[in-house]
Amino acid sequence: MKVVIAEKPSVARDIADVLNIKTKKNGYIEGRGCAVTWAFGHLVTLQEPGEYDPALKRWSLDTLPFIPDEFKLKLIKNRGVDEQFRIIKTLCEQADEIVCATDAGREGELIFRYILALCDCQHKPIRRLWLNSLTSDAILEAFKDLRDGHEYDSLYAAARCRSEADWIVGLNSTRYYTVRHGRIGGGTDRVLWSIGRVQTPVLAMIVERDDIILQFRPQPFWELTTRYRQVVFKYRGKRFEKPEKAQALLEKITGNPFEISGIAGKEVKEQPPQLFDLTTLQREINKLHGLSAADTLSAAQNLYESKLITYPRTDSRYLSKDMKPRVPKILEQLKSIRFEQIEPLNLTKLPFTKRIIDDKKVTDHHAIIPTGAKTRSRLGPNEQLVFDAIVTQFIAAFYPVCIKKITTVNGASIQVKFQAKGTQIVKPGWTVLFPKKKKKQAAADDQVLPDFQKRETGDHEPFLREGKTNPPKHFNENSLLGAMEAAGKFVEDDTLREALKERGIGTPATRAAIIETLLRRNYIRREKKQLRCTDMGRCLIALIQDPLLKSPEMTGEWEGKLKQIERTQLDPDDFMDSISKYIHGLIQRGSAGALDTARWGSCPLCGKEIIKGHRAYGCSDWKEGCPFVLEPDCKGLSLTARQIQSLLQQRIVQNPVRIDDEPRMLILSTQGMPMDLRLPSADRQKKDKKTDRPAKNMGKKSR
């Protein structure tokens, strides 16, 4: 008997229908010598420390770090799991061959292999069903191309390393910081500090951005401009930091004629947009419609299970060569809903450029595209938004380039040089598909220019514009997803972001969940479209002394190594050894973290030594321009020398201080700004229903 294990009941039903397997049993569908059964996503997880040794149920620094010699598995505690697993186990024991039909990716492989291990059926022959969509044709084609399951051993190795590394780092660091710092802030109960290998660097990015904005002081500037023939020309030099110089130039040119000194025009080709991967889809939907990354992923998953789009959890924006014959057929099928947009395309001669077809840039799955299948029922509002975006992007990829003419006009008034730019659409190309997606351009670059002639002169109206520098913007889901994809770097350029994908934080499938976890644990909050840190989140980042635990770059490197494991370029044991050494070092460094009374600490801005001056404490690199200064009289308090040392060395005054008759704590922000925080006590701390149980079950790990 052949047993097929799908990830969800709905997928199992689709597979059974295509294979003409009809007999429904309790927990599986049977027929034609085959049984199709299902999991409910993750059925199996790693055991908790207390299940290895009951003594480890008690949280203590003495037992840290705890790293099992061999990780053990258990069933998750959800309704119906025990019965469904018993059915799967019975079927697997009777099977001659087991087919893995879980999602075709790292986590899907982990779900299947963990089930197989807990069933004790690893010795059975296994085959792999690799699906890019759930259409009948795709399922039949995939069954014709079943592969030896052990070809995916390296994918499983990467998935297992990810799972165990998150367990080691999340569980040990959560226990360590909760036991050591859980009573901070004056509360009598313990606050659970939930820490994860991935979530904590993301939180650190948000805290740092908020601190930069909080400490930002706008600087005034003045721009010299002039209006000639209703066109605004900008001064070609740098803008002025002091008004006197700008005013002197203004007075110099006032009353003197303006002359056009040169006109240059060039045509610029703007390429059609590339196809979506999951992250760019989430960013686009968030930017245009404000939908969260989690809601976009949920809508995309529903569309996939409805057979309307291909597999959504992909990090590729390209199609493989074998997709070429299918694309015209899909576009032909889509004519029923997008006839006017598809009709201009010659489906027999589509422009398959390297921006669309590139086997080298297709990993586990190709880009997200529509399947061409017709909708069976009316879509929900989120599903409709996501489906429309995917279809439009797919059609636009084959449209002609947009050709713009950018005209640059140079002018001068008594040798004071100015410049104006104007953009004219020559051929709209693919942009006709995006009427609502007009980019906001600066007024000076979006002007309709008259027919200027070289050497023409005339009167003009010079004036000064006063402005102020702006801080960076708070993260929203769009910009945060982009920064996570680029390993903490804010990168808009598609090519650069593509190069950084290998070292991104998390995976396309997990980034939305990471954001939702931080929101659920009250470390960040939504303010309209912005994502802002809370006092809880800010305090947690201040408490964490180990820079690697909150480093986006380091987490990105770990993700890069997991990719290497997938390609058999790195031994999984070497990766796990590095994780083990790291967590041992974190605990040892933290346990040895007593105040060094021989020094004041390091500068939070540049890392150099702090020195004591006559009135304050400051960076020893002040001659090179480091501005950090900390005064003993801070936030209405007179800090003692020991409190100063605590603030500079540990970034926090551990003992509660009283401000406005309320117990508070002082922390040093990522930008060196002293801040007072009031933390909620543990009984008022928001609980994560699944993982945060400070009173009884503080052993849960965090991603």
Residue 537's contacts (CB-CB under 8 Å, 6 or more residues apart) are 203, 206, 207, 518, 522, 523, 524
Q: How far is it, in rounded angstroms, from Cα 540 to Cα 524?
A: 11
Distance of alpha carbon 348 from alpha carbon 495, whole angstroms: 29
The closest alpha carbon to 320, from 364, 366, 273, 275, belongs to 366
Q: Kindly list the distances between the CA atom of residue 269 and the CA atoms of 272, 341, 358, in Å, as whole numbers in the listed order.
A: 9, 21, 21
* Tokens describing residue 404: 């713009």
Determine the Cα–Cα distance for residues 661 and 574; give it in Å rounded to an integer: 53
CA 267 to CA 510: how far, in whole Å?
41
Q: Which SS3 state, helix, strand or coil, does residue 303 take? A: helix
Identify residue 550 by its one-letter amino acid code.
K
Task: Out of 114, 228, 311, 523, pick the active-site residue.
Answer: 311
Task: Quote the distance between the C-alpha of residue 112 and its chain's center.
Answer: 26
- Encoded tokens for 414: 């008594």
Alpha-carbon span 50 to 105, nearest angstrom: 31
Single-letter code of the amino acid located at 618? G
Q: How many CA atoms lie within 13 A of 439 on its CB side?
A: 7
Written as one letter, the residue type at 44 is V
Cβ pair 522, 685 in contact under 8 A:
yes
Report the first-to-last Cα separation within the chain, whole angstroms.
38
The SS3 call for residue 80 is coil
CB contact set of 138 (below 8 Å; sequence gap of 6+): 131, 132, 371
What are the respective helix, strand and coil percentages of the chain, to the nearest 5? 40, 20, 40
- Tokens of residue 352, six digits: 């398959």
> How far is residue 38's CA from residue 8's CA, in Å, rounded to a whole number?
5
Active site (annotated) includes residue 311 = yes
Instruction: Round to whole Å and give the CA distance between 290 and 529.
Output: 7
For tokens 């990993």, what's the residue? Answer: 363
Backbone angles phi, psi at 680, to 5 degrees: -70, 150
Cβ-contact 489, 501 below 8 angstroms: no
Long-range contacts of 93-96 (CB under 8 A, 24+ apart): 93/119, 93/121, 94/1, 94/3, 95/1, 95/2, 95/3, 95/35, 95/121, 95/124, 96/1, 96/2, 96/124, 96/125
Report how far residue 483's alpha carbon sits from residue 426's, in angstroms, rounded to the nearest whole number: 34
Cβ atoms of 434 and 393 within 8 Å: the answer is: no
* Per-residue H/E/C for 327-374: HHHHHHHHHHHHHHHHCCCCCCCCCCCCCCECHHHCCCCCCECECCCC
Do 702 and 169 form a contact (C-beta atoms < 8 A)? no
The two three-digit tokens of residue 24, written as one number: 């429904």
CA distances from 303 to 18, 297, 315, 379 (A): 19, 10, 18, 9
Residue 356: phi, psi to the nearest 5?
Answer: -115, -50
Rounded to whole angstroms, the Cα distance separating 535 from 524 reads 9
How far is residue 485's CA from residue 508's CA, in Å, rounded to a whole number? 8
Which residues are catalytic, by number?
A: 311
